[in-house]
Amino acid sequence: MSHVRAQLRACVRDALRAAFDAGELAVPSREAVAASRAFPADPPAVAVYALDEESGWESADPGAAPRLVRRLRLAVEAAAAADAGADDALDALCAQIERALAQDLTMGGRLALPAELAATEVELADDANPPLALATLTYLMEWRSDAARPEEAG
């Protein structure tokens, strides 16, 4: 079994693929996007990746099993063609992403609290080839795990 972070990324990717018509949306890996600063498919496309994770002890009780509270910032980066309709295209894409993820905010019961859309950043990547309009939706996800079992949430 993989780390809960990997499970959450997969859960988000699966939700996005299910929400869009087959072939309508490319969901490349972070590595593929970062390698070329471009999405390896024609827009629209979405990349899903972890930004960072904070963790701390759930309890200071020395008699309790060591458990961590983990807080992940997960990015869903949407790309649209940087043309005259880019803002509207990004907003429509973001709306579809938000609807898809709202269907299961606990990500299959893995999260202790519902995932929270914390921020959306919009930018023009004119250094990309071709230029892209990008929106990065940042979700906050919190779960608990035994320190010795990072692949299990609960």
Given a contact cutoff of 8 angstroms between Cβ atoms, the answer to whether 121 and 135 are in contact is yes
Backbone angles phi, psi at 137, to 5 degrees: -95, 125
- The model carries a pTM of 0.86
Collapsing DSSP to helix, strand or coil, 106 comes out as coil
CA distance linking residue 21 with residue 23, whole number of Å: 6
Adjacent-strand bridge partners of 16 = none
pLDDT by residue for the chain (154 residues), tens only, comes to 899 999 999 999 999 988 887 556 666 555 555 544 455 556 788 889 999 999 999 876 777 778 999 999 999 999 988 999 999 999 999 999 999 999 999 999 999 999 999 999 999 988 877 888 999 999 999 999 998 999 999 8
CA distance linking residue 43 with residue 80, whole number of Å: 5
Region of 12 on the Ramachandran plot (φ > 0 left; ψ -120 to 50 alpha; else beta): alpha
Identity at 115, one-letter amino acid code: A
For the chain, the straight-line distance linking the first and the last C-alpha, in angstroms and rounded, comes to 15
Task: Go through the domains of the chain in sequence order and give each one's CATH number.
Answer: 4-57+68-146 (3.30.70.1700)
